[in-house]
Structure 1
């Protein structure tokens, strides 16, 4: 569970409603069913019009990534690649075949399988990079869904407000009701702007961050698998792959990683 996504949504809604109440507003006046219908229903309808059905079906899965996805630790991936490089140097590339099914990442498994099958390194790189480009494309489409919703919602809010003002202006007989009626009309705009900036656009940005994290992991896998195929020294491989990471992240498990690489070198010798 990604606590930052959930906590951020709670804090966003909480601060907005809390500030409204502190200013003397009544929290009950923020809840307007018709405004919610116009903004939420209109936004979803606009998404349906602009997005193919196949992509819309992925919405629950995309939301799950934003709320529950836990990315792999790059250092754990590097340690695993160093371990595989040690096995390959000690027992040969074919020894990796026994390890393939122990992994739950299809991208990683397919890469190791290509190497075990003796596929040319350039072809291995081409296949894996092509698959990576399609993964990145799918991720960008998922984030684009929420970006579109973030664009539609404020517009739907304005539409709701205009509809409310039309209703107000058509009933001017009772001047005492004008103030409350206009306030209700503007709730739709509030819903549209708030939902765009607290929900839709932040989730789109979170998905982009998740995508970059996963792409980095995949790039590490590609470089590591090709290095294993080339028979590189495990310790050199570990140092090379850490170049992909920011200096602060390389030091996160530096002592542990160094000890593991040292043990790998002893075994290789």
Structure 2
């Protein structure tokens, strides 16, 4: 089978990009014995799909998440979102890309002197959205993550689980078609981790593509979704499984190169 973005005409790539939310093959130079954090990683993700990208710490998951929002750059290859290779487009389109791809990172990145509601509203304010629309969207997001009663709280008054839910609300307030979450449950206790997963599942049910990067196979087993495994920067498995043990040895699967 041919791999995404290679050996294809421009017309064929356009047809593929209409079917997939994300497609890509890339190499990224940063660390590792041969200088690459990711090597010939190739896969496609369908629109409205829920996918886990899992692997141990240092395997390349965070690098992959950053590639999807152009916080990192590949040395070669393509990362196609919708119809566009995001790493060849002019820099002026990066803000538009990041409105279409919501991101959730483990370190929260909340603005400390803004309330919960103000943190969620910020992304809409900077693009000039009308105040009435901002207020409506913020209330909808607060309801989605179960934080209506915490709208006026400051970030340092929230638990870790509450802060993560604010981050999810902020990522979704502009209705992006794709949500990328890097270790969204990494700092949470089991109860809050489950709540975050339930929110991500509801977001996916509302026709948003959800990509979760994690090293925790417990949450993968709970969700029973498609699982892409990365080890030492290499895609080693791509399958839908009822339960996955990251400690088990998995042979490389060609299923991830499925065009």
Q: Calculate the TM-score normalised by the size of structure 2.
A: 0.27
Q: Calculate the TM-score normalised by the size of structure 1.
A: 0.26
Higher strand share: 2
Q: Whose radius of gyration is greater, 1 or 2?
A: 1
Higher helix share: 1
Higher RCO structure, 1 or 2 (CA under 8 Å, sep 6+)? 1
